[in-house]
Structure 1
Amino acid sequence: MSTTRAASIAVVGPGAIGTAIAAALHEAGRTPLLCGRTPRDRLTLQDGDRLITVPGPVRVDPRQIGGTVDLVFLAVKATQIEAAAAWLTALSGPKTVVCVLQNGVEQLERIALPARPARFVPAVVWFPVQAQSDGSVRLRADMRLSLPDTSHARVAAEALQGTRCRVELAANFHALAWRKLLQNAVAGFMVLTHRRSGMFGRPDIAALALAYLRECLAVARAEGAELDDGVPQEILDKFQSSPADMGTSILTDREAGRPLEWDIRNAVIARRGRALGLPTPISDILVSLLAAASDGPG
């Protein structure tokens, strides 16, 4: 299967993560087909003082897709899966690989779409990107993905080979996915306070975050993730060492009044904790507040 022809790769959901992936492919001469909700002539990624422009257009009608592709990078949020179904149906053939660039540990379970028999690969996205007011996307660290070490994942890794996005095929993917989930989960505090990474410098917030991360770690271990005792402190240290104005995608959604990914980032901890008979008192409070912030009423 060839994944180096420009027409053989599509990015569905050219938001912050999708724009970064599209820019990495474009730089390497593998400009992907762009598919989304909003028509745009181009995508722009800011990397320091450098601007990388990915030529469009962003297609908005799946009925205008002429055929299937070898590889789809699915970069829509969990709240947008249903809307992406038509794109996956139009783009996916029997051998199409769909690399799911989403948060959480339930990416594959949630894609119950008519796009089958495409082959789905979960991914862990490690790089921070932020949408800017002018429609561009700002990259704030080196690009890196973790994928499970499978034959289907190697198709995505091959497509990104030689680009600015480093891909790790990980035998311990399950543990890495849970570690990233812990990082995403604690970012929920930023939503409720409308603050950025600098808030974790407060001793009271740091103590609360650490207690929550330890609660999440207990659930992750019970789910079979091999993570050591130092992971909560390492995650907190990462937030505390980040620029004080560093945001997160769920905070961006909250500021824009969009639905939040509270279920896949936070409720999953409480839900799986209950199934395992583990107490999750901080999760129980946090999830209710995030759900109300997202869905109301009021």
Structure 2
Amino acid sequence: MSMSPSVAVVGPGAIGTTVAAALHEVGRTPRIYGRTPREQLELRVDDDRILVPGPVQTSPAQVDGAVDLVFLAVKSTQVEAAAPWLKALCDADTVICVLQNGVEQQNLVTPYSHGARIIPSVVWFPAQAQPDGSVWLRAAPRLTLPDTPAARVALTALRGTRCSVELSTDFASVAWRKLLQNAVAGLMVLTGRRSGMFARDDIAALSLAYLREGLEVARAEGASLSDEVPREIVSAFQAFPPDMGTSILADREANRPLEWSIRNGVIQRRGRAHGIPTPISDLVVPLLAAASDG
């Protein structure tokens, strides 16, 4: 693999734009593919604006061959729609780095990978799409990847950029911890409120109970997580700016399909498989599913 692998970003939303801007800043501008034509991407960081030249290519017919690395930054509900891009961009030598929520990324993407190696990721930064099409990055971006040879391709591509990469030998534990955070964020959809709601004692108590339910399932799945994780996650939400949202809330506000299955439904499904009662999930999941259906 070259020290400067050829890179494509599929899905230039909030996460995809952040990664594309990080690469562009250091002279590694990726090829950009998505549904919406744009002349450029814009990332806002504090008082800075990073403009990534386009255009965003909107037809797989515009792809001129396979690349070394694809950052797949579409939501789990959009993977099937992204399949033509993967067909055009991937071969057996390609690595697909999946920038999505959940612990089922490999299973979701494998049917469309065309022999490419797939690496899951955990995305640790809040990036919010703005009404004008720009993206507001509200914290330093970082990714956690499993410590595998394929992951080192993404590490090489992002080395020296503002997006740091950590390789984990216990990726399952990291991924499940992030999933628990994503799961409790689903409560924002049911209230229509942002992170400030976690300052309420009743919401904090409900969140802790939900997280402890998820923690039992995560441990049954092999994650090594301490009893303190639920409290740490709630405390983190309480420390966020009160207007901080989450991607699933943004999708609800825009009346788009929700990633309820991979963020919340997975706790219920895996709990049932292990014989673990999930009474809070049994209430939350159908409500989120109904919100997704419209």
Answer whether TM exceeds 0.5 for this pair.
yes
Q: Is the 8 A contact 2:3 2:156 kept in 1?
A: yes
**Partner Cα separation in structure 2 for residue 226 and residue 12 of structure 1:** 32
Q: Is the 8 A contact 2:41 2:53 kept in 1?
A: yes
Of 67, 84, 87 in structure 2, the residue corresponding to residue 86 of structure 1 is: 84
Secondary structure in 1 aligned to 2:113?
Answer: coil
Matched to 2:2, the amino acid is: S
**Partner Cα separation in structure 1 for residue 187 and residue 119 of structure 2:** 29
**Partner Cα separation in structure 2 for residue 115 and residue 272 of structure 1:** 25
Matched to 1:254, the amino acid is: R
Q: Is the 8 A contact 2:74 2:100 kept in 1?
A: yes
After superposition, where does 1:231-250 map in structure 2 within 5 Å?
231-250=229-248
1:292 paired with 2:290, answer: yes
**Partner Cα separation in structure 1 for residue 122 and residue 193 of structure 2:** 24
Matched to 1:201, the amino acid is: A
**Partner Cα separation in structure 1 for residue 284 and residue 209 of structure 2:** 13
Percent of residue pairs bearing the same amino acid type: 68
- 1:84-108 CA distances to partner (integer Å, 9 max, x unpaired)? 0000010002200000000000000
Where does residue 263 of structure 2 map in the other structure? 265
- Superposition deviation, residue 2 in structure 1: 1.6
Q: After alignment, is 114-123 or 226-235 more displaced? A: 114-123
Secondary structure in 2 aligned to 1:10?
Answer: strand
Q: Pick closer, same or farther for the CA change 1:265–1:3 going to 2, 3 Å.
A: farther
Q: Is the 8 A contact 2:110 2:118 kept in 1?
A: no
Q: Is the 8 A contact 1:3 1:71 kept in 2?
A: no
Q: Is the 8 A contact 1:70 1:97 kept in 2?
A: yes
1:156 paired with 2:154, answer: yes
**Partner Cα separation in structure 1 for residue 34 and residue 275 of structure 2:** 41
Secondary structure in 2 aligned to 1:111?
Answer: helix
After superposition, where does 1:42-121 map in structure 2 within 5 Å?
42-121=40-119
**Partner Cα separation in structure 1 for residue 44 and residue 134 of structure 2:** 7
Gaps of 5+ in 2: none
1:195 paired with 2:193, answer: yes
Of 10, 15, 18 in structure 2, the residue corresponding to residue 17 of structure 1 is: 15
**Partner Cα separation in structure 1 for residue 3 and residue 66 of structure 2:** 12
- 1:168-218 CA distances to partner (integer Å, 9 max, x unpaired)? 000011100000000000001101111000000000000000100000000
RMSD: 0.8
Q: Is the 8 A contact 1:3 1:9 kept in 2?
A: no
**Partner Cα separation in structure 2 for residue 193 and residue 55 of structure 1:** 38
Q: Pick closer, same or farther for the CA change 1:114–1:262 going to 2, 3 Å.
A: closer
Matched to 2:48, the amino acid is: R
Secondary structure in 2 aligned to 1:51?
Answer: strand
- 1:93-152 CA distances to partner (integer Å, 9 max, x unpaired)? 220000000000000001143432111000000011101111000001111100000000
Matched to 1:67, the amino acid is: G
Matched to 1:130, the amino acid is: Q
Scaled by the length of structure 1, the TM-score of the pair is: 0.97
Gaps of 5+ in 1: none
Where does residue 228 of structure 1 map in the other structure? 226
- Superposition deviation, residue 3 in structure 1: 5.3
**Partner Cα separation in structure 2 for residue 141 and residue 54 of structure 1:** 19
**Partner Cα separation in structure 1 for residue 285 and residue 3 of structure 2:** 40
- Superposition deviation, residue 64 in structure 1: 1.5
1:210 paired with 2:194, answer: no
Secondary structure in 2 aligned to 1:278?
Answer: coil
**Partner Cα separation in structure 1 for residue 112 and residue 123 of structure 2:** 25
- 1:211-254 CA distances to partner (integer Å, 9 max, x unpaired)? 00000000000111000000000000000000000000000000
**Partner Cα separation in structure 1 for residue 249 and residue 133 of structure 2:** 17
